[in-house]
Amino acid sequence: MSITDEMIRQATADLYSWALRKVPDDTKAAMAAAMETETSETARKTLAMQLRSAEMAEDKNTFVCSDSGVPVYFVKIGTRAPISGDLKKSIRAGYEILVDTIDPPLLQHVTNPLTLERSYHGKDMPIVSYDLESDAEYVEITCSPKALGSGRWASLELFTFPSLEEIETYVLDVAIKAGAQHCPPVIIGVGIGGTFDSCASLAKKQTLRTIGSVNEHPELAAMEERLTKAVNSLGFGPMGTGGDTTALAVHVDFSSGHGFTPVAVCFNCWINRRTRARLWGDGRIERME
């Protein structure tokens, strides 16, 4: 009994397909809750329409948005997982299967940044990062395809020994610059510290956190509350036509580092594409979300 190539291919293809068709339950619940407190009539109508779009996509088994993004996967390999398949090759193969078989078909969004040619394929596609999970007996794959609308507005700045005020002001300024270009209400991920590369990864992973989950660090939980309120005070609202609901959540994580402190900010649009499955040695592909 082991985690096979076939299972990895299947999970890779399914996770992407699911992400295009289903808005996560926590996200829908957060939007429904926002409708209760939203003071702008236009914003309430937009939120209602977003929820209707999500429901129609599920009913018709079709895509919520035409920009299916570029494929992005996060893989956690349990150190005790019985793996017989080649994870790297099979994830690539699974993505190829998806491109060939998904219905409705994808648009060609994978872009060569040097020539601007578009395709389904390209160098380093799909984008996969690997991590280890101590003592786990599974392989966990998360899929979070990234589209242009929200991908475009992420930002990272390097500070030296910044105060909390500087950090929070930076996050606010990135939110102001993004305005409503990223299809709000958004989920904002913030990373503080580490190095250039690890900080960006921290921020991205925070967009994948369940809305409503409580940060285990009390000082970050308080920062999340302040920043969520601050971003929503900007008034951009759903799709930028005004309102109190610009961010459904701000999630923050930090790493120790040197005195140079990167701060990274990134966004998921309201569709909040995020699916996750665990692959077990007994052949099960357990859909987590």
Partner 1 sequence: MAEHELTLPMSREAVELLNAGDSVYLSGEIFATAGMPTHDRLLKCLDGKEELPFDFTGGALFHLGSLIEESPDGQMRIRYMNPTTSTRFNGFMPRIIPGLGLRFTGGKGGLDAACAKTMRACGCVYLSFLGGGAPIITSAIRKIVAVGWPEMISHYRVVKLEVERLGPLVVGIDAKGQSIYDSTRDAANARRASIIEQMRIEREA
Q: Smallest distance, Å, CB 64 to partner 1? A: 5
226, 256, 68: which is closest to 148 by C-alpha?
68
Our finding on whether 212 is near partner 1 (CB under 8 A) is no
- Tell me the DSSP string of 96-155: HHHHHH-SSPPP--EE-TTT--EES--TT-SEEEEEEETT--EEEEEE--B-HHHHTT-E
Verify binding: residue 215, partner 1, rule CB under 8 A: no
Instruction: For residue 235, report the phi and psi dihedrals to the nearest 5 degrees.
Output: 90, 10
Asked whether the beta carbons of 114 and 90 are under 8 A apart, the reply is no
| Strand, coil or helix: 215 | coil
Asked if 123 touches partner 1 (CB under 8 A), the answer is: no
112 sits near partner 1 (criterion: CB under 8 A): no
Residue 97 beta carbon to partner 1: minimum distance, rounded to whole angstroms: 19
176 sits near partner 1 (criterion: CB under 8 A): yes
User: Binding to partner 1 by residue 234, rule CB under 8 A?
Assistant: yes
Which are the contacts of 124, defined by CB distance < 8 A and separation ≥ 6? none
The yes or no reply on residue 286 touching partner 1 (CB under 8 A) is: no
The only residue of 72, 270, 275, 278 in contact with partner 1, by rule CB under 8 A: 270
CB of 288 to partner 1, least distance (A): 23
Which residue type is seen at 174?
Answer: V
Residues near partner 1 (CB under 8 A) are 41-42, 45-46, 49-50, 52-54, 56-57, 60, 62-67, 104-108, 116, 118, 148-149, 152, 164-165, 168-169, 172-173, 176, 179-181, 183, 222, 226-227, 229-230, 233-237, 239-242, 269-271
